[in-house]
Structures are given as structure tokens and as C-alpha cells.
Amino acid sequence: MKIFRGYNAIVTGASRGIGTHIARALAGEGVHLALVARSADALEAVRKQVLEHDVKAVIIPSDLTITAELEAVVDKAEKELGPTDILINNAGVEFAAPYEEYPVDQIRLDVQLNLLAAMLLTHTVLPGMLQRGRGHIVNMSSLAGKIGFPYQTPYATTKAGLNMFTHSLRAELADTPVGISVICPGYVDDFGMFANRDKTGVKVPKLLKPTTTDKVVAAVIRAIRKDVAEITVNTIPVRPITLLRELIPGTTTYIHKMTGNTRFIRELLAKASHKKSNS
Ligand SMILES: NC(=O)c1ccc[n+]([C@@H]2O[C@H](COP(=O)([O-])OP(=O)(O)OC[C@H]3O[C@@H](n4cnc5c(N)ncnc54)[C@H](OP(=O)(O)O)[C@@H]3O)[C@@H](O)[C@H]2O)c1
């Protein structure tokens, strides 16, 4: 879909991290923004920044794990800006622990935020998009959704769900003017768990070298413009690795061992628990 000045977008997870960069990039295209996350002050700071692009922007502080708030988010965005042309389901929570120790509430949270909120927001905006004959939805998944991730089992599960949600709905929407895409970044240099490892001294797996936020944002914009189904944002060796896993699912464990990913996350967890027990 062409991105025209004056289009309206809802961006979730817009208070920090990758979401703030997506918001700025869309504002740079002249898109009006509804910025969604829980932290009102941080959203307001992002709102002030995007106003420099001469767009309208509203903040919608909201907890997307509360189902009742989801329709209200779309309602408020559309009352303030007008119909939604672009929905970016970016809000996500990342947690790591051995599965048997993964808190039950955290499992529930992962599913509610990473998967269910994206599905329900899409369900709310889709009828209007179909009626108006335009719209694009972007789901922020992860490499974890492509190859699984040890010690991040619920997280990876939600991201794999997001991938199949996208591809199933995309097939359904094939003959309509509404598009849907999924972005699968590997570790991102600047934000999240990978960025936090800096102070730990844990050796990074060479094959899973991090990507950058700029590349993730560029993928989002390209996905909308070219209606791309899925974009994996990572270094070159990652693509054959994901392909190998698709062809021979039994290689998953080997892939994580061979790339050093299992060791990497295990060592990060060990450092984190060491820090906790020393504090
Ligand atoms: N960083 C990476 O290495 C990486 C790699 C692959 C994929 N991703 C995906 O990219 C997306 C953004 O990641 P990030 O690294 O930018 O994460 P981040 O810095 O932790 O930001 C997460 C965003 O989600 C919002 N959020 C969290 N819980 C929420 C809730 N209950 N309701 C509403 N909003 C909520 C946060 O705002 P509040 O706390 O203010 O609510 C924040 O704006 C996520 O979906 C993540 O899984 C990240």
C-alpha cells in the first residue's frame, strides 16, 4: 500500500524501544499517530518528538493485556484521528527462564500481550479497513518465532503464533485491498535482552550477530509499501538456518547448540541469578 500523508496509524509499544523508532519513521512519512503503551509520560515525550513532522499525534495510555481496553484503544484513536489505515502490533514482552521455572503469570502475560492483543486489535480494525478498501497491519514477531528459542519457550510460542496468524489471515485477505505482514528480527543491537547483555561480558554467538533498529524500521516501512508477507531481519547466515529448521525440524536443538545460542541464554540467565543472589 502506498503510504500517503494524512493516513492514520496505531502503533503499540510506542513508549520506548523499537516502537518509538517506528512511530518516528511513520511520522516522517506524514502519518498521523495514535501512540499506545502503559507509560503516559514516555508516550507524551514521543508525541512531542513526532509533532516535529507536522502530523497529529495522540497518546493512548493503555494496558493491552486487559481485553476490555483493546476496543477502547481503537475507539479513541479513531475518534481523535479518523479511521485506522495502519496498525502496528509492536508491543511485546520478553522473558527468559527454564520452562519449569517460568512463572505461570508470565506465561499468561506473554500470550495476552504478544499474541492475543495483536489478534484482537486486528479483529477490531479489520472491518473498517475492508469497508474503506485500504489498510495494512504489521505484526512484530521475532526470529524466536521462526526457530524457537531455548529458555524463552512461551515467548517463542507467542511469536510463532503471530507468524501463523499473519500467514493465515493474509491468505484470507488475498483478494482484498488490505495487507498484513510479519517482521522477524533476530537480536536487536539497541534494545531488549540482547542490548542488556552488554554489561554481563557473556560472549555473543557469532552466527546470530545482532541487527539494528534502523533495519527493523526499514523492514516495517517496506512491508507496508510492498505488501511483503514476512521479513526476517538478521545477518545472512540466519536465513539458511531457518530454512534448515523448516526442512528438518529435528535440527532445532542442534542449531541452537551449534550457533552457541543455548549457551548464550544460559550464561545470561546464570549472570542474572548471580547478580540477584549478590544483591
Ligand atoms: N529487542 C529485540 O532484540 C527484539 C528482537 C526481536 C523482536 N523484538 C520484538 O520487538 C517488539 C519491541 O521490542 P523492544 O525491544 O522495543 O521492547 P521494549 O523496549 O521492552 O518495549 C516494549 C514496548 O511494549 C510496551 N508494553 C509492554 N507491556 C505492555 C502492556 N501490558 N500494554 C501495553 N504496552 C506494553 C512497552 O511500554 P510500557 O512499558 O510503557 O507499557 C514498550 O513500549 C516486541 O514485540 C519484541 O518482542 C525485539
pLDDT at 195: 67
The minimum-distance atom of ligand 1 relative to the CA of 190 is 1
The minimum-distance atom of ligand 1 relative to the CA of 42 is 40
Residue 206 has pLDDT above 80, yes or no: no
Q: What are the beta bridge partners of residue 89?
A: 139
pTM: 0.95
**Which of 7, 102, 155, 187 is the catalytic position?**
155
Using the mean position of ligand 1's atoms as its centre, give its distance from the Cα of residue 37 in Å.
9
Neighbours of 243 (CB within 10 A): 11
Residue 171 has pLDDT above 80, yes or no: yes
pLDDT band at 198 (very low <50, low <70, confident <90, very high): low
Rg (CA), the chain: 19
Using the mean position of ligand 1's atoms as its centre, give its distance from the Cα of residue 231 in Å.
18
Residue 279 has pLDDT above 60, yes or no: no
**251 CB contacts (<8 Å, ≥6 apart)?**
244, 245
In a domain, 175, yes or no: yes
Query: What's the pLDDT tens digit per position in 231-247?
Result: 999 877 788 888 898 99
Which CATH number goes with the domain that contains 234? Answer: 3.40.50.720
The yes-or-no answer on residue 155 being catalytic is: yes
CB distance 207 to 234 below 8 Å: no
Neighbours of 168 (CB within 10 A): 11
> In whole angstroms, what is the distance from residue 12 CA to residue 116 CA?
13
Residue 202 has pLDDT above 90, yes or no: no
In a domain, 45, yes or no: yes
> In whole angstroms, what is the distance from residue 191 CA to residue 187 CA?
9
* Region 246-263 average pLDDT: 91
* Region 216-236 average pLDDT: 95
Q: Which helix (H) or strand (E) holds 167?
A: helix 153-172
The minimum-distance atom of ligand 1 relative to the CA of 213 is 1
Question: Which protein residues are within 6 Å of ligand 1, measured from CB?
Answer: 13-19, 37-39, 42, 63-65, 90-94, 113, 140, 142, 185, 187-188, 191-192, 194
CB distance 9 to 224 below 8 Å: no
**226 CB contacts (<8 Å, ≥6 apart)?**
none
Domain that includes residue 212, residue range: 8-278
Q: How far apart are the two ends of the chain, measured CA to CA in Å?
A: 52
* Region 204-228 average pLDDT: 91
In a domain, 1, yes or no: no
**Exposure string for 97-127, b = 16+ CB within 10 A, e = fewer:** beeeebeeeebebbbbbbbbbbbbbbebbbe
In a domain, 171, yes or no: yes
Domain count, the chain: 1
Using the mean position of ligand 1's atoms as its centre, give its distance from the Cα of residue 190 in Å.
12
In a domain, 2, yes or no: no
Which of 66, 94, 268 best tests ligand 1's pocket when mutated (most atoms within 8 Å of CB)?
Answer: 94
Residue 274 has pLDDT above 90, yes or no: no
Residue with cell 517463542: 156
pLDDT band at 207 (very low <50, low <70, confident <90, very high): confident
pLDDT at 192: 63
> In whole angstroms, what is the distance from residue 245 CA to residue 165 CA?
20
> In whole angstroms, what is the distance from residue 256 CA to residue 245 CA?
11
Vertex 172 angle, CA 167 and 178, to 5°: 90
Using the mean position of ligand 1's atoms as its centre, give its distance from the Cα of residue 187 in Å.
13
